[in-house]
Amino acid sequence: MKKALLSLIAAPAILLSSYTLAQEYVTIEMEIDVASSAEQTWAAVGDYCDISEWLGIDCTITSGEGGIGTVRVLASGRITEVLVAQTPLSYGYTQPAVEGQFYNLYHGFMEARAVDANSSKLIYTLMLDVSNLADQAAKDADVTRRRATFERALTSMKEIAEK
């Protein structure tokens, strides 16, 4: 009886620890040089809903005034993102968990970094858990797809900032 009780108590802990160990986080780091100061670059592309211009998807602010805690909804409501970090030339956001879906802890961070008085770099970093994907080929394809999407966005941001 005592063994059975200990097994029942230990089973959830074993299941939880195996889930925790299964997480596989990837970081996708991208950057592009811009022939514009960091301040001018950020003014052109750094508003939280400017994503509609440089990524080509609709964006609506559903909560907040543009500071930390502001919520934007993208792609006709399919994606929700919450602003969780902000400086004068950067912001970070996350996608909250959705009931019934795998939570990949998706975070994005975008920054305009000065190189000198007349040039800057736009840096975009994504971080997420890919452990739900079937195999390494699927994980690699997901990273490749995300990188291509955001490298196109960086190119678009560069064009906007250099006008």
Residue 22 has a pLDDT of 86
pLDDT digits (tens, 9 = 90+) for 9-62: 555 544 444 455 589 999 999 999 999 999 999 999 999 999 999 999 999 999
Residue 16 has a pLDDT of 47
pLDDT digits (tens, 9 = 90+) for 92-147: 999 999 999 999 999 999 999 999 999 999 999 999 999 999 999 999 999 999 99
**60 Rama class: left (phi>0) / alpha (psi -120 to 50) / beta:** beta
Question: Is residue 43 classed as helix, strand or coil in its secondary structure?
Answer: helix
Under CATH, what is the fold of the domain 23-161?
Alpha-D-Glucose-1,6-Bisphosphate; Chain A, domain 4 (3.30.530)
Q: Do 34 and 161 form a contact (C-beta atoms < 8 A)? A: yes
Domains of the chain, residue spans? 23-161
> Quick one: tokens of 37?
């100061």
